């Protein structure tokens, strides 16, 4: 076991890089060097966490705990288990890829972009590692500001509206969550998540229902689940490619992580009673978002709606409250993170060359960009859930878990796979195949070296996860057993 505060260091590296870039305003070249080294170093530390993780242990690992303000229960309490470990690695990995992509995509004010991006990375890793509810909430909220600035400064034409919507919608949910945290501290006298696991079910049963809804809505807005999803298409379409990739890849997973870490174990009785509502919302999300994706004319909006549909699988798996389902939910979170980041990078590459996101302006790109066409094919098939890719494992496990408890909802959700094939295949056909009708396409170049590097890494990750999923499942076993144990003991 390592005895230096590795989690704090992993959080601090991007933060210090951000402050350094802001304070010393280095030149363009130097910013590239700093950003690349900072994100590589973060990835190195995340892999170090992975290597030193003990797969048999049921406790939280790499724990650091210091009391900060005892009057409201704030402690600096960090620690990870299998779920947070994988999500931190996902963030570090996607962070590196996004930095590489952003250095070639963002032309103006690169230093400020890197500043906001590293702040975002630092706060999100801290959210995943936080084991004190108030600390988690603080980092959760702090992550909103850099995202708002990124969408607002480097986004598309309607970016102000999209950034406001994202910020205020998420803030509304967080405020409900804050009230629940205050209730927890008043009644349970502790905000530390491991302790709350053992005393959460003793809270007043009349209030548990309201607490459950409060916490649920906060994370349902983040994921986003069906009635609260309207901020996502706007935010994704208007954000720059790198921001969309990190938004879809990691920020959405904060919601799922919140369900797994906070909602299910601390309020198990209410979760069991009220699980039917998220399940209905999930299946509606899958079907509705898939149909919405079929009818879109904007490439990025199609993929945004497909994100909503895939996260519908995640919530379906989580709220099936079965071991297989929760396993599938977490796996789908990881796989969707990789796949949607890959799809957004693809769309970004196309946009950078043709300067439009309307599907009608495309056609026949495969003839000019065979490398992109191949990568896009792999990502598109994994989004559909082709066996051999991680998308299949995720969706299959979720549906399996759902089928044990609610076969009707599972049947409806399974239909979503067919629909995802419809919109993905038609998107691919319209963009890649056919004749070249747009003259701009006749002049475009194939992928650059950075893009090839990013796409190759993503492909390798997706295929590896698809063929050897048990590397991941092994890490998750203790955590899922704790969650299902909490639920089925009651």
Partner 1 sequence: MLFDLKLSALAPGALLLGIALFVQILNLFTRLASCSLSMISILLVSGLILFIYYVYPCAMHLGSGCSGYLPHTHKIQICLLVFCIACNIFFIISQQIRLEEFPSEYVSLMLFSALGGFIATSAQDFLTLFMAIELQALISYILSSMAVRSSLSSEAGLKYFCLGVISSCVMLFGISLMYGFVGSISYYRISLDSGCSFAIALILTGLLFKLGASPFHMWLPDVYQGSPIFAVNVFMTINKLTVLISIIRLRCQLDMFFTVAAVSSLVVGALGALKQVNFKRFLAYSSIFNVGYILICLVTKDYKLSVIYLLIYTLNVFMIFSILASLGIEIDTLQILDLQGLAFRAKFQSILLAICLLSLMGIPPMLGFAAKYYVLYKTVATGNYYLAVFASGMTLVPAYYYLRIIKLMFLEQVTASFLPAKLLSYGALCNVLNVIGVLIVSFGWVVAL
Q: Kindly tell me which of 182 and 274 has the beta carbon lying closer to partner 1.
A: 182
Kindly determine how many residues on this chain lie close enough to bind partner 1 according to the rule CB under 8 A.
Answer: 31
Q: Kindly tell me which of 176 and 422 has the beta carbon lying closer to partner 1.
A: 176
Q: Is 179 in the site for partner 1 (CB under 8 A)?
A: yes
Residue 155: how many other CB atoms lie within 10 Å: 20
Q: Kindly tell me which of 174 and 356 has the beta carbon lying closer to partner 1.
A: 174
Q: Kindly tell me which of 89 and 127 has the beta carbon lying closer to partner 1.
A: 127
CA dihedral 236, 415, 216, 94 (to 10 degrees): -40
Q: Is 117 in the site for partner 1 (CB under 8 A)?
A: no
CB of residue 231 to partner 1, shortest distance in Å: 14
Q: Is 153 in the site for partner 1 (CB under 8 A)?
A: yes
Stretch that binds partner 1, among 2-10, 47-55, 81-89, 133-141 (CB under 8 A): 133-141
Dihedral sign, CA of 134, 138, 143, 149?
positive
Phi, psi of 279 (to 5 degrees): -65, -40
Of residues 263 through 282, those in contact with partner 1 by CB under 8 A are: none
- What residues does 298 pair with on adjacent strands? 358
Tell me which long-range contacts 287-296 makes (C-beta under 8 A, separation of at least 24).
Answer: 287/412, 287/415, 287/416, 287/419, 288/226, 289/226, 289/229, 290/416, 290/419, 290/420, 290/422, 290/423, 291/419, 293/419, 293/420, 293/423, 294/419, 294/422, 294/423, 294/426, 296/359, 296/423
CB of residue 266 to partner 1, shortest distance in Å: 17
CB of residue 148 to partner 1, shortest distance in Å: 7
Using the rule CB under 8 A, which residue among 44, 48, 145, 386 binds partner 1?
Answer: 145
Sort residue 218 into left (φ over 0), alpha (ψ -120 to 50) or beta: alpha
Query: Using an 8 Å Cβ cutoff, are 83 and 330 in contact?
Result: yes
Q: Is 137 in the site for partner 1 (CB under 8 A)?
A: yes
Of residues 156 through 175, those in contact with partner 1 by CB under 8 A are: 160, 163-164, 167-168, 171-172, 175
28 Cβ contact list (under 8 Å, min separation 6)? 110, 111
Give me the residue label for tokens 């890793």: 125
Whole-number Å distance between alpha carbons of 306 and 292: 9
Q: Kindly tell me which of 153 and 352 has the beta carbon lying closer to partner 1.
A: 153
Q: Is 141 in the site for partner 1 (CB under 8 A)?
A: yes
Q: Kindly tell me which of 73 and 337 has the beta carbon lying closer to partner 1.
A: 73
User: Per-residue x/- mask for partner 1, residues 45 to 84, rule CB under 8 A?
Assistant: -----------------------xxxxx------------
Q: Which residues bind partner 1 (CB under 8 A)?
A: 68-72, 137-139, 141-142, 144-145, 148-149, 152-153, 160, 163-164, 167-168, 171-172, 175-176, 178-179, 182-183, 185-186
């Amino acid at each position: 076991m390592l005895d230096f505060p590795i989690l704090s260091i992993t959080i601090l590296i991007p933060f210090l890089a951000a402050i350094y870039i802001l304070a010393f305003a280095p030149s363009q070249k130097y910013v590239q060097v700093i950003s690349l080294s900072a994100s590589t170093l973060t990835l190195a530390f995340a892999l170090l966490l992975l290597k030193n993780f003990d797969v048999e242990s049921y406790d939280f690992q790499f724990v650091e705990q210091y009391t900060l303000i005892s009057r409201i229960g704030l402690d600096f309490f960090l620690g990870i288990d299998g779920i947070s470990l994988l999500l931190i690695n996902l963030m570090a990995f996607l962070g590196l890829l996004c930095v590489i992509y952003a250095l070639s995509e963002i032309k103006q004010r690169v230093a400020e972009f890197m500043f906001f991006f590293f702040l975002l990375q630092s706060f999100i890793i801290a959210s995943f590692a936080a084991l004190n509810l108030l600390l988690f909430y603080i980092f959760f909220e702090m992550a909103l500001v850099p995202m708002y600035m990124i969408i607002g400064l480097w986004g598309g034409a309607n970016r102000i509206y999209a950034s406001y919507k994202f910020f205020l919608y998420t803030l509304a949910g967080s405020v409900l969550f804050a009230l629940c945290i205050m209730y927890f501290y008043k009644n349970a006298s502790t905000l530390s998540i491991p302790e709350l696991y053992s005393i959460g079910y003793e809270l007043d049963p009349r209030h548990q229902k309201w607490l459950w809804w409060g916490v649920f809505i906060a994370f349902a807005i983040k994921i986003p689940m069906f009635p609260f999803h309207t901020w996502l298409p706007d935010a994704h379409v208007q954000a720059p490619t790198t921001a969309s990739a990190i938004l879809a890849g990691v920020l959405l997973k904060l919601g799922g992580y919140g369900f797994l870490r906070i909602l299910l174990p601390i309020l198990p009785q209410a979760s069991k009673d009220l699980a039917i509502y998220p399940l209905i919302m999930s299946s509606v999300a899958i079907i509705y978002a898939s149909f919405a994706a079929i009818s879109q004319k904007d490439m990025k909006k199609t993929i945004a709606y497909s994100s909503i549909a895939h996260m519908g699988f995640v919530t379906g798996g989580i709220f099936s409250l079965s071991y297989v389902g929760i396993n599938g939910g977490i796996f789908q979170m990881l796989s969707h993170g990789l796949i949607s980041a890959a799809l957004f990078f693809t769309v970004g590459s196309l946009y950078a060359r043709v300067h439009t996101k309307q599907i009608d302006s495309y056609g026949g790109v495969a003839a000019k960009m065979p490398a992109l066409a191949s990568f896009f094919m792999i990502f598109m098939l994994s989004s559909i859930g082709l066996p051999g890719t991680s998308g299949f494992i995720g969706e299959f496990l979720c549906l399996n878990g759902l089928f044990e408890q609610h076969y009707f909802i599972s049947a409806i959700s399974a239909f979503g796979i067919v629909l995802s094939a419809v919109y993905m295949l038609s998107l691919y056909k319209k963009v890649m195949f056919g004749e070249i009708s747009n003259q701009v396409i006749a002049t475009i170049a194939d992928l650059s070296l950075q893009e090839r590097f990013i796409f190759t890494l993503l492909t390798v990750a997706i295929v590896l996860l698809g063929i050897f999923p048990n590397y991941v499942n092994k890490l998750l076993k203790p955590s899922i057993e704790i969650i299902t144990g909490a639920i089925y003991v009651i």
